[in-house]
Amino acid sequence: MKEEFLHFLWKNRMFEPERPVTSEGESIEIVSVGRHNIHAGPDFFDARVKIGKTLWAGNVEIHLRASDWNRHGHQSDPRYRNTILHVVAENDLVIYNLTGATIPTIEIGWPLWIEYNYQALLQKHDWVNCASQLYKIDPFRIRFFLNGMAIDRLQQKIGAIDQLLEESKGDWSETFYRFLARSFGFRQNGDPFEMLARSLPLALLQKHKDQLFQLEALLFGQSGLCHELLLPEEYPLSLRNEYEFLAGKYALRPIAGHLWKFMRMHPLNFPTIRLAQFAGVIHTCPTLFSTVIRLEKVEDYRRMFRVDTSPFWDQHYTFLKPSVNQRKGMGEDSFQLILVNVLVPFLFLYGERTNKPELKERALRIMEELPAENNTLLRHWATAGIAAANALESQALIHLHHAYCEPKRCLECTIGQRIILHGE
């Protein structure tokens, strides 16, 4: 049995007996179990328990065995000074707090059917433990639950933005530019794209916003992708010459060209094509962040990213690899990934920080207007009976799987709790 199971019992008041007694024989009434703490420190904050005739307010710590208190070092930890109750499955030791006072301890049991449901759920060998039981859950409960998962997913992305925002000393425009650059690299080339953005500040690019060729020279030159090549055509040679002039002017040093990945990638996703697209976006919309805040509709954002690359890229995938003649603007799938992973989290966070709820509402509305992603994981969910209606729900299902299903956190999941408590 895991300690998390005892947390679950305590939180849902499913322990036995309902009116336990302490190890010293005093009766206890659990007025409030408190707030579950998922971080360091006591397991439950702000509990209310009546011991004898005295009402106590404070924290509750839960262990499988009372002796775990000492094994975890709580007896000398000031964070546990205000522990008013120790809840255990086996009371094998009298324990004391930092001041040397004994802490009331109760030993609890639980209904066997709850343990049976829990163990049965954990022993499932489907792609997620509850897949075969999802049809029993009220669809309304699931949709309501997914809204919370979508917000959790957004908060997770916001954490990465916060870190960049701190590094850029609160500069929203520079932070957005770096985060957007990383997203243009997607999973394979996100790191070198971010390194490139860090080495080439937005303010510098904005000085050349009216000249697409100079923007391309700065980006391609700083990327390190064209320095060691024997370039046979006029356009890349001109790019390199222009970059050498600008690099001398601004004291630029390129990143290493070998960092970029091309293997096992569709040519339209090559970093050369993405860099050309990125240059086009900055050329047509140099005030990136303020534009994102100002626009309101999905179609407005789509136009912002619907840019054409220079004519050279109509017939090339790289400086040395030709292609059939075709325009290589950003596709719809790539646009939606950037909208979901960059624009929406920024709108939400900026609305939160500036007390503009209309921006947070816009972010969620955009997610509801976009179609759900189509990938293997979401097809699994659909087969199990939960088909995402839009991008908000598909993001929620992705987060649910990665944050709860894969690490088997069924006890913390609303769906898992329903199955354990009600046999659904």
Looking at the fold, whether 194 and 277 belong to one and the same domain comes out as yes
Token pair for residue 229? 């090549």
Domain-located, residue 231: yes
How high is the pLDDT of residue 207?
96
What does each of the 424 residues of the chain score in pLDDT, given as a tens digit? 789 999 999 999 999 887 888 888 888 999 999 999 988 899 999 999 999 889 999 999 999 999 999 999 999 999 999 999 999 999 999 999 888 889 999 999 999 999 999 998 888 888 999 998 898 888 899 999 999 999 999 999 998 899 889 999 999 999 999 999 999 999 899 999 999 999 999 999 999 999 999 999 999 999 999 876 666 778 888 999 999 999 999 999 999 999 999 998 999 999 999 999 999 999 999 899 999 999 999 999 999 998 888 999 999 999 888 899 999 989 899 999 999 999 999 999 999 999 999 999 999 999 999 999 989 999 999 999 999 999 999 999 999 999 999 999 999 999 999 999 887 6
Considering the domain boundaries, does residue 56 fall inside one? yes
| Residue at 202 is within a domain | yes
The verdict on 178 and 86 lying in the same domain is: no
Is residue 247 a contact partner of residue 221, using CB atoms and an 8 Å limit?
Answer: yes
Residues whose CB is less than 8 angstroms from the CB of residue 48 and which lie 6 or more positions away in sequence, other chains included:
30, 31, 32, 34, 55, 56, 57
Q: Does residue 351 share a domain with residue 242?
A: yes
The domain in which residue 232 lies consists of 168-369
Residue 155 domain-assigned (yes or no) = no
Q: Do 172 and 106 belong to one domain?
A: no
d(CA 193, CA 270): 12
Give the global pTM: 0.82
Pair (88, 197) in one structural domain? no
209 lies in the same domain as 347: yes
Q: Are residues 71 and 175 in the same domain?
A: no
Please report whether residue 420 resides in a domain: no
pLDDT score of 212 = 94
Q: Are residues 74 and 178 in the same domain?
A: no
Taking a C-beta distance cutoff of 8 angstroms, is the pair 176, 338 a contact? no
**49 and 179 assigned to the same domain:** no
Q: Residue 25 is which amino acid?
A: G
What whole-number distance in Å separates Cα of residue 320 and Cα of residue 306? 25
Task: Read off the tokens for 228.
Answer: 């060691």
232 and 361 both lie in a single domain: yes
Domain assignment present for residue 377? The answer is no
**How high is the pLDDT of residue 230?**
63
**What tokens appear for 51 in the block?**
């011991």
Does 316 fall in a domain? Answer: yes
Per-residue pLDDT, 231: 66
One domain, residues 220 and 81? no
Q: State the total domains in the chain.
A: 2
Residues 212, 334 within the same domain: yes
For residue 267, tell me if it sits in a domain. Answer: yes
